[in-house]
Amino acid sequence: MTQSVTHPITARWPAETPEKLQLYSYPTPNGVKVSIALEEMGLDYEAHLVTLADADVKSPEFLALNPNNKIPAIIDPNGPEGAQIELFESGAILIYLAEKTGKFLSKDPKTRYETIQWLMFQMGGVGPMFGQLGFFYKFAGAKMEDPTARNRYINESKRLLNVLEQRLEGRDWIVGDYSIADMAIAPWINGLEFYGAKEVVGYHELKNVPAYVERFYARPAVAKAINIPPRPE
């Protein structure tokens, strides 16, 4: 039986179609991971723009869904055994959606855990390190005279890119066929453009990583999802 979403967050972001999966997000690398997955998997969903301003992410309504006050988050009124499920943390959401649809996460145990391994590589390495690179290279941290932190994150980002460069040798995708690992990793690599940091991390000296990102963004579902929910004009 189809259920309708019930949650305090709907007081601030009402569900027009409450029987659909509800996405609360913003088109950052972390946010578009989930919109890409939803589009690739062909799931019916409703997207709500949650800005990164405290007025949104620290509102009581959003904190009721994600106490860590970060996008993205979802509510699926038709979750496991027909019960509503609420999730935050993009990696957990990707695994859930893959298991819900049976897509982009292999049922073969070895490939499945390799895929989750590379998903965790993004969650624990690429995302946090590239994010700090952005802070210390482009945003407030760039004003610091002491270059120690900036150099640390430049060098760590270079190292992570080289891990990916080696992994992608002779491969189109991170693990076998296209998977949730790619949906997690490629948007963060692309984020280096936004940070203006491609040159400093040696991106253009690589062969496999740029070709991989180009393949990823050539996918129709990815092209559609990268601005869901749409950024404010």
pLDDT at 2 over 80: no
**Count of structural domains within the chain:** 2
- φ, ψ for residue 71 (rounded to 5)? -85, 155
**Residue 192 maps to a domain:** yes
Domain ends where: 104, 124, 149? 104
Residues 25 and 42 in one domain: yes
Question: What percent of the chain is predicted at pLDDT more than 70?
Answer: 100
Q: Residues 65, 66, 70, 75: is their CA dihedral positive or negative? A: negative
**Residue 160 maps to a domain:** yes
**Residue 55 maps to a domain:** yes
What local confidence, expressed as pLDDT, does residue 75 receive?
98
Return d(Cα 203, Cα 124) in angstroms, integer: 21
**Residue 86 maps to a domain:** yes
Residues 118 and 56 in one domain: no
pLDDT at 3 over 90: no
**pTM greater than the 0.85 cutoff:** yes
Residues 68 and 93 in one domain: yes
- In this prediction, residue 4 has a pLDDT band, given cuts at 50, 70 and 90, of confident
Residues 136 and 76 in one domain: no
Residues 96 and 115 in one domain: no
Residues 33 and 100 in one domain: yes
**Residue 1 maps to a domain:** no
Q: 115-157, pLDDT tens digit by residue?
A: 999 999 999 999 999 999 999 999 888 889 999 999 999 999 9
Question: What percent of the chain is predicted at pLDDT more than 90?
Answer: 95
Residues 100 and 22 in one domain: yes
What local confidence, expressed as pLDDT, does residue 233 receive?
79
Q: What is the domain range of residue 66?
A: 8-104
Domain ends where: 57, 85, 104? 104
What token pair was written down for 176? 């076998």
**Residue 230 maps to a domain:** no
Residue 18 CB burial class (10 angstroms; 0-12, 13-18, ≥19)? middle
pLDDT at 1 over 80: no
Q: 77-119, pLDDT tens digit by residue?
A: 999 999 999 999 999 999 999 999 999 999 999 999 999 999 9
Residues 114 and 207 in one domain: yes
**Angle at Cα 90 formed by Cα 67 and Cα 222, nearest 5°?**
140
CB atoms near residue 121 (< 10 Å): 19
**Residue 226 maps to a domain:** no
User: Looking at residue 12, which CATH number applies to its domain?
Assistant: 3.40.30.10
